[in-house]
Amino acid sequence: MQQDSLIPHLFRTEYSKIVAVLYHSFNLKQLEIAEDIASETFLKAAEVWSIKGVPENPAAWLYTVAKNKTKDYFKHNAVIEKQVKEAKQLNDIEAAQEFDFSDQNIADSQLAMIFAVCNPGNSAEAQICLALQILCGFSVEEIANAFLTKTETIKKRLQRARANLRNGDFQIKILSEAEIKTRLESVLKTLYLLFNEGYFSQTNNQLIRKDLCSEAVRLTYILTENNLTSTPQANALLALMCFQSSRLDARISDNGEAILLEDQDRNLWDQELIEKGNHYLVNACQGNEISKYHLDAMLAYWHATPTDKDKWQHILQLYNQLVIIEYSPVTALNRAFAFAKVFGHEKGIKEAEKLKLDEHVYYHSLLGYLYAGINSDQAIHHYEKAVGLTKSRIEKQTLSKEIKRLAEKRAAT
């Protein structure tokens, strides 16, 4: 991997680990210190690697620099505040020397931090924004895209949430089972949003960002390995991620264009991930709970299994349940697509148009798809509307190619 792409990749995968381990040594009031040290570590990497080249083990290099910068921070404070806090600072220096970047400590630190950030002192949306930024390394733009809102709104939300954490003097601590239950819903939603941003990215002109998908899977796996957090919902979410991840290599053509499920090369599907998805889905079905994640996982299961004559009926029934449990425009549009698969495109068009989501890109791309074999003019109209609404360069290319195909077909008739 080239340096210009390696550092952004490592920032995504390692920044949050460094922050989590350092943060485990501070209280939340000093969270910004851990973030500053992590950021300085990556600035140092960019500077040194451009001159000396990339080290043999880049992640280990980053951890070492982060340790040294933390020691320097404590020593600097010890000098400045020697008259007041000399003894405490010396203890802090010893603590810094014992920072442990083992896989287990990274996992424990990240799990502890996400539950600390997802604190009921903030609103659910603020908790998720904080966790996406601090634990997952999301930019403000990426968080805004995940919430389908303006960047300024997210900036203000993050500022208020951080102020609440500082003022409340929250600390990372071992949470009780009751506290975990209170916060787990926000944690799961955060990881769900993280995976979705990777699976269908709206940023950086990439349709798929595997690094985000992998990070979401890794963090959710940590939940399923802990007795207090290995709930049916957590297992259902991991099953969903495994099923969806199994098709990542088949979703994009060599030209970078999206490939619909029905046109994908199934030989590219990862059978091992599908088997893991089956495993976690079985684990999720212990008991009588049916959550959004259960329904999403079962939908992904049907998409990842060989077609049978009742496949789309099963999928439509699941979407019927899902829109009741948690309505969203995307869920409603997916249901309309399944409805069209069961009852035909003409009835599917009527079902989709009832939604009146004229400012939603997927509303127009769905109608373009459904009209394609019925009315080329209408199909082109909706595809053109979708092109105007999407932020994704790759999606624009895919839609424009379909417009061109339909225009050529219309001209030939």
Element housing 274 (H / E)? helix 271-284
Local confidence band at 112 (pLDDT 50, 70, 90 cut-offs): confident
Least confident of 19-23, 111-115, 208-212, 313-317: 208-212
Residue 171's pLDDT band (boundaries 50, 70, 90)? low
- For the segment 332-347, the average pLDDT, to the nearest whole number, is 97
Tens of pLDDT, residue by residue over 250-276, are: 888 777 777 878 788 888 999 999 999
Instruction: Give the model's confidence band at 87: pLDDT under 50 very low, under 70 low, under 90 confident, else very high.
Output: very low
List Cα–Cα distances, 263 to 238, 252, 267, 300, 345, in angstroms: 26, 11, 12, 16, 18
Place of tokens 């999301």: 138
Residue with structure tokens 């908790």? 127
337 pLDDT above the threshold of 50: yes
Mean pLDDT, rounded, for 21-47: 81
Residue ranges covered by each domain of the chain: 231-306, 308-413
Question: Which pLDDT score, from 0 to 100, does residue 90 have?
Answer: 47
Question: Is the model's pLDDT at 240 over the cut of 90?
Answer: yes
Q: Give 152: exposed, middle or buried? Use CB within 10 Å, 0-12, 13-18, 19+.
A: exposed
Average pLDDT score over residue span 234-254: 91
Categorize the per-residue pLDDT at 77 as very low, low, confident or very high, splitting at 50, 70 and 90. confident
pLDDT at residue number 202? 57
On the question of pLDDT at 328 being above 60, the answer is yes
For the ranges 18-27, 128-137, 152-161, 287-296, which has the lowest average pLDDT? 18-27
pTM of the model: 0.78
Higher pLDDT, 334 or 263: 334
pLDDT of residue 80: 57
The neighbour count for residue 317, using CB atoms within 10 Å, is: 15
Q: Which CATH architecture has domain 308-413?
A: Alpha Horseshoe (1.25)
Long-range Cβ contact pairs of 228-232 (< 8 A, separation 24 or more): 228/175, 228/177, 228/180, 229/111, 229/180, 229/184, 229/187, 230/283, 231/184, 232/283, 232/284, 232/285, 232/286, 232/287, 232/289, 232/291, 232/294
